[in-house]
Structure 1
Amino acid sequence: MTTQAAHPPAPEDQLITELADLVFQVAGRLRQGFNAIAADLDLPPAQALALVNLRGPAPMRDLADLLACDASNVTGIVDGLERRGLVTRRTDPADRRVKHLVLTEEGQRRRDLLGAAAHARAAALFNVPQTDRRQLRDLLTAVAKHEQRLD
């Protein structure tokens, strides 16, 4: 058996690795900040994420799609939000099997607090010149659109 010396990655491969690492670092910082804000509002991260994704009455299956999780997981998340008085379940008049989630007044208040605090943290994280922020937005948009075409 012969061993070969590992070849250094090609410059383009190294660039891709660096880009992926940086995106994960930034996403991790955003997630850590969001989770800290959620904790300050006495919310587990999954409940906070569900809360910020509820814009209006929505079926529980839509929330499962937004959170990219199984509907059975959403039931536990929604149970917790309901116990806290942040959402209510309402039966869809057209299909009594479907439950719509509706934010309570307190749910709306906490969602707004969470959104405002998360925005402030993101603004601090992306504290670079406005032209750089726009360029980063445009580049990430192009990457996201390209990724959608690959799916």
Structure 2
Amino acid sequence: MTTSPTDPLTLEVVELIGTVVARYYTEYEQAAAQHSLTGAQARVLGLLSLEPVPMRRIAQKLRCEPSNVTGIVDRLETRGLVERRPDPDDRRVKLAAPTPEGLETSRRLRESLDFAREPLSRLSEAERALLRDLLKRMLGENVL
């Protein structure tokens, strides 16, 4: 069954997704500002809190130019939140990695993002898993 991009249900779902995204970004920007970070700096710090990442991959994740990432990482490094390290697998590649202070800042930032968690808490674990799987499917990611 094919749906039209203009059928009422699709339009309603698109509008709801847009509302969720807008509310998330608004709260994310406010939470970042409470830590004297821009939204982009907070996103980079959050990404790095998972693992050290090559600068080029940060740019791909953020969908921006590598030169923009360089400026963001420079400012985070100046604040002592991030450091650059050589990649152990390819010493020509630089990894951006959080410092202990950067990890702590990222943790506090994540904890202050109520909007992302609060509505999800209204869903059961099974509903959250279904939502995750549907979102992954929409993004073209494999779902087991």
TM bin (shorter chain) = 0.7 to 0.9
Q: Separation in 2 of the partners of 1:134 and 1:32?
A: 28
Q: Separation in 2 of the partners of 1:136 and 1:93?
A: 37
Q: Separation in 2 of the partners of 1:93 and 1:146?
A: 35
Partner of 2:63: 68
For 1:111, which of 100, 106, 114 is the aligned residue? Answer: 106
Equivalent residues in 2 for 1:1-151 (5 A)? 13-54=7-48, 55-118=50-113, 120-126=114-120, 128=122, 130-131=123-124, 134-135=126-127, 137-139=129-131, 141-148=133-140
Q: Separation in 2 of the partners of 1:143 and 1:94?
A: 33
Q: Tell me if structure 1 keeps the 8 A contact 2:46–2:106.
A: yes
Cα deviation, 1:50-97, whole Å, max 9, x if unaligned, reads 000112222111212221222111111111111111001112344332
Instruction: Using the TM superposition, give the Cα deviation of residue 42 of structure 1 relative to its aligned residue in structure 2, in angstroms.
Output: 0.4
Q: Normalising to structure 2: TM-score of the pair? A: 0.82
Identify if the C-alpha distance between structure 1 residues 94 and 33 changes in structure 2 by more than 3 Å, giving closer, same or farther: same
Structure 1 unaligned residues grouped into runs of 5+: 1-9
How many residue pairs get aligned? The number is 136
Structure 2 unaligned residues grouped into runs of 5+: none
Return structure 1 stretches of 4+ with deviation > 6 angstroms: none
Larger radius of gyration: 1
Identify if the C-alpha distance between structure 1 residues 92 and 140 changes in structure 2 by more than 3 Å, giving closer, same or farther: closer
Q: Tell me if structure 1 keeps the 8 A contact 2:120–2:128.
A: no
Structure with the higher fraction of residues in helix conformation:
1
Q: Normalising to structure 1: TM-score of the pair? A: 0.78
